[in-house]
Amino acid sequence: MAEFDFVIIGAGMAGASAGYELAAHGRVLILEQEDQPGYHTTGRSAALYAETYGNATVRALTTGGKGFYLDPPAGFAAHPLLLPRGVVFIGRPDQRGALDRLLEEVAGLRSNIRRLGVAELENRVPVFRPGYVADAVLDPDAMDIDVHGLHQGYLRGLKARGGQLLTDAQVRGLSRQAGLWQVETKAGLFQARVLVNAAGAWADEIGALAGTKPIGLVPKRRTAIQFRPPAGLDIAHWPSVIDADEQFYFRPDAGKIMASPADETPMPPCDVQPEELDIAILVDRLEKVVTMPILRIEHRWAGLRSFVADKTPVIGYDEQVQDFFWLAGQGGYGIQTAPGIARLVRALACRQPVPSDLADLGVTEAAVSPARLR
């Protein structure tokens, strides 16, 4: 029976990035239930990198991975992992308070985060209905992520470091024997010194197999569509646009427009599909905001963003079940935070302190620990 230092359950962005980092420290096996890694939430994201998006810990973890994104190790990726985009948070007159609060929270991050005049906004994105937008906040350094490039880079790097990925290997049973985890899968039995739970929406189910208390993870459906912009409209340099109360967002995406009603419907873990009603709500919301018609929806999808109560990721050893490491609850930020979180996993799973650069940004073990949720 094959024995590993770390067996990671789930080969989405969380498991792949953690596997890459941990493979520098020991023998790693990633087990994935699907026949392709990235099939669930990782393959369904909006690919936004914004240091102004999410709570303080999420923002710190995002910034903590920026160095890796901008300057990955040689051979990690064939193309840049981040491309310039910018993000604008917009509001109607009654949403000015929400934009004031946002600016107050994030203005200290960088000097170029600023209010954007309505005329300047309309110049950049010339489709708003006259009088709709009263106020806007611009983060010019937000970027588009090459999600596939990042995910594949991690999986290639894992292999180069001697780690393994096994697909079609659903984990079905977990037990401990002589100080080692016995991992029962569809593809056979494996032994692990440490188990890393990176099972996305299924993380509490994996916890139950191992005998942990739940962390209260709630998978929430989020819907997205892609449609063709009206002929002659040059969208290439538009920023991403997000409603101040996150009721919708839209952005250019490979020559088309990707949009979402920013829905958050609680669901059991599953291969989630979009609902017509959510798409109708999105179309209705967008039609009140912009003049461009949504003539034909070319692509529609949904994914599960999984949150715990404080919307902060859960990273650390379970306080009761030995050698069981949680890596869950990345919510809507699991791509932008992945490089920062993976380095944190490497430190905490090896029982080392939070890396000093992440600590300087304000990341603490307590803020991400599963113990905070009990």
Ligand X SMILES: Cc1cc2nc3c(=O)[nH]c(=O)nc-3n(C[C@H](O)[C@H](O)[C@H](O)COP(=O)(O)OP(=O)(O)OC[C@H]3O[C@@H](n4cnc5c(N)ncnc54)[C@H](O)[C@@H]3O)c2cc1C
Q: If binding is defined by CB under 6 A, does position 243 make contact with ligand X? A: no
Residues 220 to 239 in contact with ligand X, rule: CB under 6 A: 222, 224
How far CA 32 is from CA of 19, 58, 76, 185, 324, in Å, comes to: 12, 26, 22, 10, 17
Single out the residue of 259, 260, 252 nearest to residue 234, CA to CA.
252
Task: Give the interface size with ligand X as a residue count (CB under 6 A).
Answer: 40
CA separation, residue 133 to residues 25, 139, 233, 235 (Å): 51, 17, 20, 19
Q: Which of 14, 282, 363, 367 binds ligand X (CB under 6 A)?
A: 14
DSSP state of 355: P
Distances in Å between the Cα of 207 and the Cα atoms of 134, 143, 210, 287, 320 are 47, 34, 5, 43, 11
Residue 332 engages ligand X in binding (rule: CB under 6 A): yes
Told to check if 334 binds ligand X by CB under 6 A, we report yes
135 or 155: CB nearest ligand X: 155
Q: How far is the CB of 131 from ligand X (least distance, A)?
A: 29
Least spacing, CB of residue 275 vs ligand X, in Å: 13
Task: Indicate the SS3 state at residue 227.
Answer: strand
Residue 313, interface with ligand X (CB under 6 A)? no
Q: Say how far apart CA 116 and CA 49 lie, in whole Å.
A: 20
Q: Among 163, 200, 239, 274, which residue interacts with ligand X (rule: CB under 6 A)?
A: 200
Of residues 64 and 303, the one with the C-beta less far from ligand X: 303
- We find the least distance from the C-beta atom of residue 80 to ligand X, in angstroms, to be 17
Nearest to ligand X of 137, 206 (CB atom): 206
* Binding of ligand X by 315 (CB under 6 A): no
- Residue 361 engages ligand X in binding (rule: CB under 6 A): no
Helices and strands counted in the chain (H then E): 11, 20
Q: Out of 7, 22, 29, 46, which residue is the one contacting ligand X (CB under 6 A)? A: 46
* Nearest one of 93, 53, 5, 3 to 350, comparing CA atoms: 5
| ∠ CA 263-373-322, rounded to 5° | 120
| CB 60, CB 52: distance < 8 Å | no
Tokens of 229: 């912009």
Burial 198-212 (b: 16+ CB within 10 A, else e): bbbbbbbebbebbeb
330 binds ligand X (CB under 6 A): yes
CB of 334 to ligand X, least distance (A): 2
CB of 16 to ligand X, least distance (A): 7
Residue 63 engages ligand X in binding (rule: CB under 6 A): no
Asked whether position 15 contacts ligand X by CB under 6 A, the answer is yes
Instruction: Provide the binding-site residues for ligand X, judged by CB under 6 A.
Output: 9-15, 31-34, 39-42, 44-48, 170-171, 198-202, 206, 222, 224, 260, 303, 305, 330-336
